[in-house]
Amino acid sequence: MELLGPVLLIANPGSRRGEMLRELAMRAFRDAGVHCDLVVTEQAGHGASVAAERGSGYQAVFALGGDGTAIEVLGALAGTNVLVGLLAGGTGNLVARSLGVPLSIERAVPALLKGKEARIDLGLLNGEQYFAFTAGIGIDAAMVEATTAALKRRYGVSAYIVAATRAMLRQRTFRVRIEADGETIESEAVAVVVANFGTVLNDLVRIGPDIVADDGLLDLCIFSPKGVPEALALAWRLFRKDFSPHRAMRYRRGARFSFDCTPEQTVQTDGEVRGRTPITIEVRARAARVLSPK
């Protein structure tokens, strides 16, 4: 397919190198002969309201920012027929990377304008907050809490590695009770992840086996290592994409999960803290219509 416009660009000014990236994006749309209207968000939630109010008037809506901006736009347009293109302007850009979008804006814009469309699933936290990549409890959420804006500005994506290392060294075990499509699972854990995409940072690491974003299901991943040495061994297994049976790794695919933890745990989705347990998570099958390069 080839988009001829007009398109809407929703850009987060707080993302890294935001002003320069906006200029690069607008130039790339002009060079492609596509009319683009620009809205720079002013506060959290602004991108969602703009997408919901104006998105249907354009051939596609592009989001320029990090994963927070991406999910604002994807969530606002969930269940509609509006095409969404994601441009990497944040620190992790996990959703854009998982869709194969080039990190270079000059390459990404023409690749998406001449790309292909797909329907992907979204997760829904407590019936209110959409997520596209993962929801997490335990080390996963602790890493997000520890990745401050200052760390992101200084280290970029490496900030997550620094924060993850700190969280692993300070790991705290908790008890989790999960209702998974009617099945009860009880376990000790240091991290619980509900994944929609399985690859991290261009497939450098995989969270679990055969996780895909368009199967109408989410993937529950429970990690319960005993101590830091075993946690490091599990991390190495994920890096090597080794999902052979292991007592400290458990996987289960499903459409709806509820979680209750002792003690209560912080929850993150797509890199943003979203409160504490207990929570429910369910899938919205093929809810987002997205662009990816051919």
Q: Which domains does the chain have, with CATH numbers?
A: 7-114 (3.40.50.10330), 129-286 (2.60.200.40)
User: Which segment, 14-23, 81-90, 227-236, is predicted with the most confidence on average?
Assistant: 81-90
What's the mean pLDDT in 70-93?
94
Residue 252 confidence (pLDDT): 96
Task: Flag whether pLDDT at 37 surpasses 60.
Answer: yes
Angle between helices 139-146 and 158-169 (to 10 degrees): 130
Task: Flag whether pLDDT at 288 surpasses 60.
Answer: yes
User: In terms of pLDDT, which residue wins out, 134 or 148?
Assistant: 134
Residue 159 dihedral angles phi and psi, to the nearest 5°: -60, -35
Q: What H or E segment, with its residue span, contains residue 111?
A: helix 105-113
179 has which bridge partners? 184, 258
Cα gap 175→167, rounded to integer Å: 18
Residue 9 confidence (pLDDT): 98
Q: 154: pLDDT confidence band, cut at 50, 70 and 90?
A: low
Residue 174 confidence (pLDDT): 95
Q: How many C-alpha atoms does 19 have within 13 Å on its Cβ side?
A: 0
290 has which bridge partners? 84, 118
Task: Flag whether pLDDT at 123 surpasses 60.
Answer: yes
For residue range 260-282, list pLDDT tens digits in order: 999 999 999 998 899 999 999 99
User: In terms of pLDDT, which residue wins out, 70 or 236?
Assistant: 70
Tokens (6 digits) for 129: 């907050």
Cα gap 194→206, rounded to integer Å: 13
Q: 114: pLDDT confidence band, cut at 50, 70 and 90?
A: very high
85 has which bridge partners? 62
DSSP state of 96: H
Please give the sequence-ordered ranges of beta strands (E in DSSP) within 83-190, or none if there are none. Answer: 83-88, 116-125, 129-131, 134-138, 174-180, 183-189
DSSP state of 27: H
Q: Is 204 exposed, middle or buried (0-12, 13-18, 19+ CB in 10 A)?
A: exposed
Residue 159 confidence (pLDDT): 44
What's the mean pLDDT in 228-256?
90
pLDDT above 70 covers a percentage of the chain that reads 90
Cα gap 230→193, rounded to integer Å: 18
What's the mean pLDDT in 43-63?
96
Residues 224 and 172: beta-carbon distance below 8 Å: no
Residues 168 and 233: beta-carbon distance below 8 Å: no
Residue 259 dihedral angles phi and psi, to the nearest 5°: -130, 135
Residues 257 and 280: beta-carbon distance below 8 Å: yes
Residue 50 confidence (pLDDT): 97
Task: Flag whether pLDDT at 176 surpasses 90.
Answer: yes
Tokens (6 digits) for 285: 């099958």
Cα gap 263→137, rounded to integer Å: 12
What's the mean pLDDT in 10-19?
80
User: Which segment, 40-44, 154-158, 175-179, is predicted with the most confidence on average?
Assistant: 175-179
